[in-house]
């Protein structure tokens, strides 16, 4: 999601207004998807002359899980359980796909779940829609945010419905399950046991572990670029992240251990 050609449009309140997964604002893929000038015009209330709306949305789509993902995924308490897939336009016309989380059955109100399609939605948002260009593909992911203080085993269940907006009644439903293993203790004096919370966050995170002296935390993007490097102490450390763009990041400990975080 954090490729160098992504385009983010952020309003004056610092809120993400629109996202595009291409860099050429005036020439979207295959000239099918609405270009970013339409979003600029909408945000500013102007007519730049550069907006070219998509008029033909009669395409069809398919959905596939990534080879590394399954509908049922496991993790230890406190981690983000991830399921990755992709929405594929398999036609010669653009297609608009409506996404809806139609079930969100979590073991506790300290768990959360959310969908990501280009950008990650808030955990309380159940619906969104996307336009996919001819023969184009968009990444999709679903995430269970588990509670590090629940020893497990626990199970979160969700269903997401993908519907073609062209009235053809084409729909695909994906059932997801996130399961945490049973654990006897969150911290055992081992640097591999790390608490990162709250996750996702848009202000700051706390990182807690029995760190060794001179331990270093690195926050990197998904392709390994170092965003910031911080020395940490044993116990609780507060890390400011509100200046980061909404995306996935990794917290890396001494270049050996890592945890995934979401900034939203």
Tell me, what's the pLDDT at 158?
A: 98
Predicted confidence at residue 256, as pLDDT, reads: 54
CATH 2.60.40.3880 fits 61-180, yes or no: yes
Please classify residue 183 by burial: count the beta carbons closer than 10 Å to its beta carbon, then call 0-12 exposed, 13-18 middle and 19+ buried. Answer: middle
**Choices 3.50.30.30, 3.50.50.60, 2.60.40.10, 3.40.50.300: CATH for 195-263:** 2.60.40.10
Please tell me the predicted confidence (pLDDT) of residue 161: 98
Q: Are the folds of 61-180 and 195-263 the same?
A: yes
pLDDT at 190: 47
Would you give per-residue pLDDT tens digits along the chain (264 residues)? Answer: 444 456 667 777 666 666 665 544 333 443 444 567 777 887 788 888 777 666 678 999 999 999 888 999 988 888 889 999 999 999 998 899 999 999 999 999 999 999 998 778 889 999 988 888 888 888 999 999 998 888 778 999 999 999 999 888 899 999 999 998 765 443 334 455 678 888 888 888 888 877 776 677 788 877 667 788 787 877 888 888 888 888 888 887 754 567 888 887
| Domain ranges for the chain | 7-44, 61-180, 195-263
Q: Is the previous residue joined to 112 through a cis bond, with omega within 30 degrees of 0?
A: no
pTM of the model: 0.61
Q: What are phi and psi of 195, to 5 degrees?
A: -100, 130
pLDDT of amino acid 211: 74
How far apart, in whole angstroms, are the C-alpha atoms of residue 191 and residue 255?
12
CA-based nearest residue to 215, from 233, 235, 193: 233
CA separation for the pair 102, 64 (Å, rounded): 19
> What is the structure's pLDDT at 185?
40
Is the CB of residue 92 less than 8 Å from the CB of residue 59?
Answer: yes
Closest CA to 81 of 125, 117, 112, 123: 112
In this structure, how many other beta carbons lie within 10 angstroms of the beta carbon of residue 153? 13
* Sheet of 235-240, strand order: 195-197, 204-209, 235-240
């Amino acid at each position: 999601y954090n490729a160098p050609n992504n385009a983010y449009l952020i309003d004056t309140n610092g809120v993400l207004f629109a996202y595009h997964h291409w860099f050429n604002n005036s020439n979207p893929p295959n000239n099918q998807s609405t270009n970013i000038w339409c979003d600029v015009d909408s945000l500013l209330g102007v007519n730049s002359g550069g907006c070219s709306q998509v008029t033909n949305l009669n395409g069809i789509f398919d959905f596939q899980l990534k080879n590394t993902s399954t509908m049922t995924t496991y993790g230890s308490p406190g981690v983000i359980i991830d399921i990755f897939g992709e929405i594929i336009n398999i036609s010669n016309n653009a297609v608009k796909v409506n996404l809806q989380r139609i079930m969100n059955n979590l073991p506790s109100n300290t768990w959360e779940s959310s969908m990501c399609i280009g950008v990650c939605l808030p955990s309380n948002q159940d619906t969104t829609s996307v336009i996919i260009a001819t023969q184009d593909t968009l990444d999709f992911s679903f995430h269970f945010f588990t509670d590090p203080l629940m020893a497990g085993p626990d199970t979160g269940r969700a269903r997401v419905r993908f519907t073609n907006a062209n009235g053809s009644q084409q729909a695909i439903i994906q059932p997801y399950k996130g399961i945490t293993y049973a654990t006897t203790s969150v911290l055992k004096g081992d640097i591999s046991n790390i608490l990162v919370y709250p996750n996702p966050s848009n202000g700051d995170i706390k990182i807690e572990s029995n760190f060794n002296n001179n331990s270093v935390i690195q926050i990197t993007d998904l392709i390994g670029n170092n965003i910031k490097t911080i020395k940490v102490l044993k116990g609780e450390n507060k890390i400011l992240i509100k200046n980061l763009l909404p995306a996935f990041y990794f917290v890396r400990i001494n270049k050996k251990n890592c945890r995934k975080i979401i900034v939203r």
